[in-house]
């Protein structure tokens, strides 16, 4: 069995990855490229219906299965899986299979979504209960990964002597990174997770989340000495911050439902400009406590491969040599 990444490790080490940048039909190509470039993680997120009519989206686990099959060393991370859409028995079986097939390289990032209510409506789910569904799913999931017989009675899920066989490759189980932005997600990370994966955060808010999670862990009597502090920054490379901000706003504006001037949100939360400018901004997040950086490229499709190469050759080496 493979020891999982939630085992004791150098908690100050930095790790770098990137999410899907090329089309789904080129998943294997991107995975091989990223492994050659030295990335440690490849991520994929998901929605089931992003808007009406829906924008293009895919399911994360099948994409990452293709990526794992095309590589030897690089880990795969769901960034993120929408947990409320999955029955825990189905999610346990699917993730255990991927973990075994990949040789113990899966990290499960989970979130509750909510940006697109129509995907909940069409799946017959109450969007107001997505947090409670996720908590129950994660509770049952961890037990299914590790116990031989699980009887579980929750508000949304019921299990009667349920089990999966075989169990995941990683022991005790694949790491769970909980995504989100608010206190409820932080408490979920403490109770059910091995890591924290926020998005659209300033360095100041990231630092505050580290403090708040530590306080919640103390309340729960949870040891988080090996907690994995991840971050999901959007990045746009351009000769100037202004040009990068406008490109990022155009790329992200149809993905998130925020009021106000979206370009100001982009400036506050994204890595923008030249590699040097992005390095300086990313250092602020690292100083705030982030250790696992999963870049998400906010750029036109034809420019995303260049972004992957520049990140790997001009940004990551700065931190490797620190």
Query: Which tens digits make up the pLDDT trace of 230-262?
Result: 999 999 999 999 999 999 999 887 565 454 578
Does 138 score more than 70 pLDDT? yes
Residue 16: both structure tokens together = 């770098």
- The continuous run of DSSP H or E covering 246 comes out as helix 241-252
Q: Is the pLDDT of residue 42 over 60?
A: yes
What pLDDT shows up at residue 6?
Answer: 55
pLDDT at 297 over 80: yes
Quote the distance between the C-alpha of residue 91 and its chain's center.
16
Tokens of residue 210, six digits: 């580290």
How far is Cα 152 from Cα 140, in angstroms, rounded to an integer? 7
Query: What pLDDT was estimated at residue 264?
Result: 87
Q: Where are the domains of the chain?
A: 8-235+275-320
Instruction: Answer whether residue 175 shows pLDDT above 90.
Output: yes
> pLDDT higher for 322 or 66?
66
Say yes or no to pLDDT of 9 above 90: no
The pLDDT value given to residue 258: 52
pLDDT band at 8 (very low <50, low <70, confident <90, very high): very low
Say if residue 282's pLDDT is above 60.
yes
Categorize the per-residue pLDDT at 5 as very low, low, confident or very high, splitting at 50, 70 and 90: low
Write the CB contacts of 53 (distance below 8 Å, at least 6 apart in sequence): none
CATH of 8-235+275-320, one of 3.90.78.10, 3.20.20.30, 1.10.150.120, 3.40.1030.10: 3.20.20.30
């Amino acid at each position: 069995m493979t020891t999982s990444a939630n085992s004791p490790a150098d908690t100050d080490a930095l790790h770098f990855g990137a999410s899907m940048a090329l089309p789904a039909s080129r998943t294997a190509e991107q995975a091989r490229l990223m492994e050659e470039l030295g990335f440690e993680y490849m991520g994929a997120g998901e929605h089931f219906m992003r808007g009406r009519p829906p924008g293009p989206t895919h399911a994360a686990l099948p994409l990452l299965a293709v990526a794992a099959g095309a590589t030897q060393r690089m880990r795969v991370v769901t960034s993120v899986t929408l947990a409320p859409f999955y029955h825990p028995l189905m999610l346990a079986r699917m993730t255990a299979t991927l973990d075994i097939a990949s040789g113990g390289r899966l990290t499960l990032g989970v979130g509750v979504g909510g940006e697109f209510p129509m995907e909940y409506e069409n799946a017959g789910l109450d969007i107001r209960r997505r947090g409670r569904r996720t908590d129950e799913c994660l509770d049952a999931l961890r037990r299914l990964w590790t116990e031989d017989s699980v009887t579980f009675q929750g508000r949304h899920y019921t299990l009667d002597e349920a089990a999966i066989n075989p169990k995941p490759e990683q022991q005790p189980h694949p790491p769970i990174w909980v995504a989100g932005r608010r206190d409820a997600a932080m408490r979920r990370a403490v109770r059910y997770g091995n890591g924290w994966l926020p998005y659209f955060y300033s360095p100041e808010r990231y630092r505050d989340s580290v403090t708040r999670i530590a306080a919640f862990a103390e309340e729960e009597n949870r040891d988080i000495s090996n907690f994995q502090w991840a971050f999901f920054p959007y990045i746009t490379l351009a000769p100037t911050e202004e040009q990068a901000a406008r490109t990022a706003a155009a790329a992200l504006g149809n993905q998130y439902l925020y009021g106000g001037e979206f370009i100001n949100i982009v400036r506050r939360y994204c890595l923008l400009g030249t590699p040097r400018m992005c390095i300086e901004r990313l250092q602020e997040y690292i100083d705030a406590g982030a250790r696992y950086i999963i870049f998400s490229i906010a750029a036109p499709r034809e420019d995303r491969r260049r972004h992957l190469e520049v990140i790997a050759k001009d940004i990551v080496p700065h931190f490797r040599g620190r």
